Amino acid sequence: MPDSDAPLGPVDATSVPRFAGPATFARLPRLDEADPAALRDGIAILGAPFDAGTSYRPGARFGPGHIRGASKLLRPFHPALGVEPFAAQQVVDAGDLALNPFDIPAALTAVQTGVSALRRMGLRVVTLGGDHTIALPILRSLATDGGPVAVVHFDAHLDTWDTYFGAPFTHGTPFRRAAEEGLLDLNRCVHVGTRGPLYSDHDLSDDETLGFQVIPADRYETGGVAEVASAISRRLGDRPVYVSVDVDVLDPAHAPGTGTPEAGGLTSRELLGTVRALAGRRLLGADVVEVAPAYDHAEITGIAAAHIVYELLAVMSAA
Ligand SMILES: N=C(N)NCCCC(=O)O
Ligand SMILES: [Zn+2]
Ligand SMILES: [Zn+2]
Q: 228 in a domain, yes or no?
A: yes
Q: 5 in a domain, yes or no?
A: no
CB 185 near ligand 1, within 6 Å? no
Q: What's the structural domain count of the chain?
A: 1
The whole-number pLDDT of residue 3 equals 61
Q: 4 in a domain, yes or no?
A: no
Entry pTM: 0.97
The whole-number pLDDT of residue 116 equals 98
| Closest C-alpha to ligand 1, atom 7 | 172
CB 171 near ligand 1, within 6 Å? yes
Best CA proximity match to 289, nearest among 113, 155, 158? 155
Distances (CA, A) of 236 to 9, 13, 47, 283: 32, 39, 28, 12
Q: 198 in a domain, yes or no?
A: yes
Q: 148 in a domain, yes or no?
A: yes
CB 244 near ligand 1, within 6 Å? no
Which ligand approaches the C-alpha of residue 170 most closely?
1
Query: Is 14 in a helix, a strand, or coil?
Result: coil
The four Cα atoms 79, 47, 41, 106 give a dihedral, to 10 degrees, of 150
Q: Which residues pair with 190 in a beta bridge?
A: 152, 213
Q: 83 in a domain, yes or no?
A: yes
The whole-number pLDDT of residue 144 equals 98
Query: Is 151 in a helix, a strand, or coil?
Result: strand
The whole-number pLDDT of residue 2 equals 55
Residues of the chain whose pLDDT is less than 70? 1-4
CB 129 near ligand 1, within 6 Å? no
| Complex confidence, ipTM | 0.98
How far apart, in whole angstroms, are the C-alpha atoms of residue 300 and residue 290? 14
Q: Calculate how far, in angstroms, residue 202's C-alpha sits from the geometric centre of ligand 2.
A: 18
Average pLDDT, rounded, for the chain: 97
CB 287 near ligand 1, within 6 Å? no
Q: 2 in a domain, yes or no?
A: no
Q: 1 in a domain, yes or no?
A: no
- Give the residue, out of 51, 131, 153, 171, with the most ligand 1 atoms within 8 A of its beta carbon, to mutate for a pocket test: 171
Per the CB < 8 A criterion, the answer to whether 55 and 170 are in contact is yes
* Domain CATH for 301: 3.40.800.10
- Determine if the peptide bond prior to 82 is cis (ω within 30°): no
Q: Which residues pair with 96 in a beta bridge?
A: 47
Query: Is 311 in a helix, a strand, or coil?
Result: helix
What domain range includes position 61? 25-318
How far apart, in whole angstroms, are the C-alpha atoms of residue 221 and residue 261? 19
203 annotated among ligand-binding-site residues: no
